[in-house]
Amino acid sequence: MLTFTIRRLLLSIPTLLLISLVIFGLLQLAPGDPMAQVPLTVPPEVKQKMREALGLGQAWYVQYYKWLVQFFWIEPKVLVDYLTNSSTLLGWLPDTSLYNGELRVISWQTRSPVMDIVAQRMPQTLWVVGLSYIVGIVIAIPIGIYSAYRHYSVFDQAGTFITMIGFSIPPFFTGPLLIVIFSVYLGWLPSIYDTTHVVNDWASFKVQFFQMIMPVMVLALQTTAQISRYMRGAMLDNLNQDYVRTARAKGLKEGVVVMVHVLRNSMIPVVTVIALGMPAIFGGAIITENVFKVNGIGQLLLTALFANDLPMVMTLTFIFAILIVLFNLIADVLYGLLDPRIRYD
């Protein structure tokens, strides 16, 4: 298992390099000009200098190489410095100061390092997306178990119908729909997610709770739909197996048979699906963040795309790619760990 993990980790390096090359290649074809916003009165030679200052004058492979160095060498150094210097977790370590003023990946919009902005935006996304994922899983697993156990019952039909709805209604429709119902007509929940809100007492916690309900539920509906269907399918596969009949025949209680024997075996594919779905939810959050005006990384990507901020787009898309590769790896390793029948070697 360990060798498999190491092999997969090593294999993911060329994969990620190739992906970054694909994204970079796509961006190189961009017809947009980052100088488009500069006033026309600026003389062309000054514009040319500004272009070079952005690093645009060189050949594409030089630009690509510089981006690689910045992303894989300089940014980690900054991160290590931050961790040892000012974070509470590792602050007790000696100050490393690896970073001494090299050029980092700079956003063209704000002229500040891209990773700093990402670090600012990440908590919002993680709160909304992460919480919605947990809520979705918590709702989905009991539904899946029960509707498989009572196959073709009323509950199963209703559960199937609701999960189908969750699959079918896109978040850009559920979002506005919920806003119309709960913010406009009923006035219970705020329609915009206020990210500057600070939680320091019970009242402010309540505000935070209320403003999180809608974005979390919109995302959780999707997760629930997906995972409960997998759960139901996996349970159905296992309920007809011989070992279940054996367990019943030796007189185990029905609860033990279903909740221990069947559930544990059915969780194997579901856990991997949960791991595989993590990065997809970051992508799906682009729309939800846009609807509820959560300024997370999905919204950051969208604004960067419209503003032609290529370093930002490149870095963000690549972060999404890293997440996908990482969680694919985690899913494979989990699958091997949970199911002893699977041997990768």
Partner 1 sequence: MTEQATPASPLEADIETIGALMDKGPSKPPRSQWRDVWDQFRKHKGAVFGGGFLLLITFAVVFGPYIWDVDPKALDIRNKNWRPVYTLLWDGGANAGWAHPFGTDQLGRDILAQMISGGRVSMAVGWLAMGLALVIGTAVGVIAGYFKWLDFWLMRFTDLVLSLPILPLVLLAVTLFRQPLNSRFGPEGGMFILIVSVIGLTSWMQTARIVRGDILALKEREFILAARSIGTTSGKIIRRHLLPNVISPIMVSATLGLATAIITESALSFLGVGFPSDYPTWGKLLADAVPRMQDFPERVLLPGIAISLTVLGVNYLGDGLRDALDPRIRGR
Q: Interface with partner 1 by CB under 8 A: which residues?
A: 15, 18-19, 22-23, 26-27, 29-32, 160-161, 164-165, 167-170, 172-173, 176-177, 179-180, 184, 279, 283-284, 286-287, 290, 301-302, 305-306, 313, 316-317, 320-321, 323-325, 328
Taking the least distance from each CB to partner 1, the nearer of 140 and 316 is: 316
Distance in Å, CB of 59 to partner 1, minimum: 20
Distance in Å, CB of 167 to partner 1, minimum: 5
Distance in Å, CB of 12 to partner 1, minimum: 9
Contact 315, 109 (CB under 8 A): no
- Calculate Rg over the CA atoms of the chain: 25
User: What is the phi/psi pair of residue 164, to 5°?
Assistant: -60, -40
Distance in Å, CB of 345 to partner 1, minimum: 18
Taking the least distance from each CB to partner 1, the nearer of 270 and 286 is: 286
Distance in Å, CB of 95 to partner 1, minimum: 35
- The first and second tokens of residue 318, run together, are 């690549």
User: What is the phi/psi pair of residue 264, to 5°?
Assistant: -65, -40
Distance in Å, CB of 41 to partner 1, minimum: 25
Taking the least distance from each CB to partner 1, the nearer of 136 and 284 is: 284
Cβ count within 10 A of residue 308:
18
Contact 193, 211 (CB under 8 A): yes
Alpha carbons 141 and 33: distance in angstroms, whole number:
49
Distance in Å, CB of 23 to partner 1, minimum: 7
Q: What b/e readout covers 206-241, taking b as 16+ CB neighbours within 10 angstroms? A: eeeeebbebbbbbbbbbbbbbbbbbbbbbbbebbee
Taking the least distance from each CB to partner 1, the nearer of 91 and 283 is: 283
Alpha carbons 105 and 166: distance in angstroms, whole number:
39
Taking the least distance from each CB to partner 1, the nearer of 61 and 161 is: 161
The secondary structure of residue 106, as a DSSP letter, is B
- The first and second tokens of residue 42, run together, are 């600026």
AA identity, residue 289: E
Taking the least distance from each CB to partner 1, the nearer of 31 and 255 is: 31
3-state secondary structure of 113: strand
Taking the least distance from each CB to partner 1, the nearer of 84 and 320 is: 320
Distance in Å, CB of 27 to partner 1, minimum: 7
Angle at 325 between CA 20 and CA 321, to 5 degrees: 40
- The first and second tokens of residue 76, run together, are 């980690």
Taking the least distance from each CB to partner 1, the nearer of 15 and 195 is: 15
- The first and second tokens of residue 81, run together, are 């410095």
Alpha carbons 45 and 273: distance in angstroms, whole number:
55
The secondary structure of residue 111, as a DSSP letter, is S
Distance in Å, CB of 89 to partner 1, minimum: 28
Taking the least distance from each CB to partner 1, the nearer of 71 and 84 is: 71
